[in-house]
Amino acid sequence: MALPLGANSCQTAGFALATIGWILTITSMGLVEWRVWHIGNTSLSYSRVVCVGMWKVCIYHHVPNTNRSALCYHYAYNDTYIPLDIRICQNLLLVASILGLMGRVSIIFALKNLCVGSGQRNVTFGPLVVSGILDIAAGICILIPVIWNYRSVMNEEGIAFPPFLSIPFKPNTQELGSAILVAGLSAIMMLSSGLIFLFYRCPIAR
């Protein structure tokens, strides 16, 4: 017998939260605005904004009477100047995206059983619990880079970029970028969906 509409509404809400959170996770990985550095005028160049991302750095030059130009440099595997925190955050975000994908597969299987009215409770709740664990693990993996980058900005930590980029070790000022907000929101969604699957057991047809 199929489930009534309200019986699996919380699992569906959890699935929607986790799916949006997973999409936001992948989006944040592609954004470069994790740390925004502001570099003032010098005798050699005009003011610049440097966006430090997880996989690349972009330099935006503010030149009078011209459009703002950008130069982006993708980090190479053998770049020794990349700080340890960025290296670790890269791996954590990759792990989070994989865990999020695995969680989506598990919850789709569970929702399928809910919709068709599977008679075995373990067949349904097993994938729900697995999905909840995967979502919480993914949320933690996302939250660590968010907190780590927040700490780096608040402590005004520098990065020894190679000389050809002409970026000083530390900027005049630095601030949090939009990527941290996107990643933080995705972490909250992933953690919330995981808690729904683990601790909020909705009624299921017998």
For each successive 10 residues of the chain (206 residues), what is the average pLDDT? 49 86 94 91 67 92 60 87 92 95 84 61 67 93 96 92 89 93 96 85 47
Please give the Cα distance from 80 to 92 (Å, whole number).
Answer: 19
Please give the Cα distance from 10 to 13 (Å, whole number).
Answer: 5
- Alpha-carbon dihedral sign for residues 10, 11, 14, 16: negative
Structure confidence at residue 3 (pLDDT): 40
Structure confidence at residue 108 (pLDDT): 82
Closest of 180, 176, 198 to residue 188, by C-alpha = 180
Structure confidence at residue 78 (pLDDT): 84
Helix axes 84-116, 178-199, angle to 10 degrees: 40
Provide the whole-model pTM: 0.81
Structure confidence at residue 80 (pLDDT): 87
How many Cβ atoms sit within 10 Å of the Cβ of residue 27?
Answer: 13
Please give the Cα distance from 71 to 77 (Å, whole number).
Answer: 19
- Alpha-carbon dihedral sign for residues 105, 133, 199, 185: negative
Cβ-Cβ contacts under 8 Å for 21 (sequence gap 6 or more): 100, 135, 138, 139, 185, 186, 187, 188, 189, 190, 193
Structure confidence at residue 34 (pLDDT): 95
Structure confidence at residue 77 (pLDDT): 83
| Backbone Cα Rg of the chain | 22
Chain-centroid distance, C-alpha 1: 39
> DSSP secondary-structure letter at 43?
S
Structure confidence at residue 143 (pLDDT): 96
Please give the domain boundaries of the chain with CATH numbers for all domains: 9-198 (1.20.140.150)
Structure confidence at residue 93 (pLDDT): 96
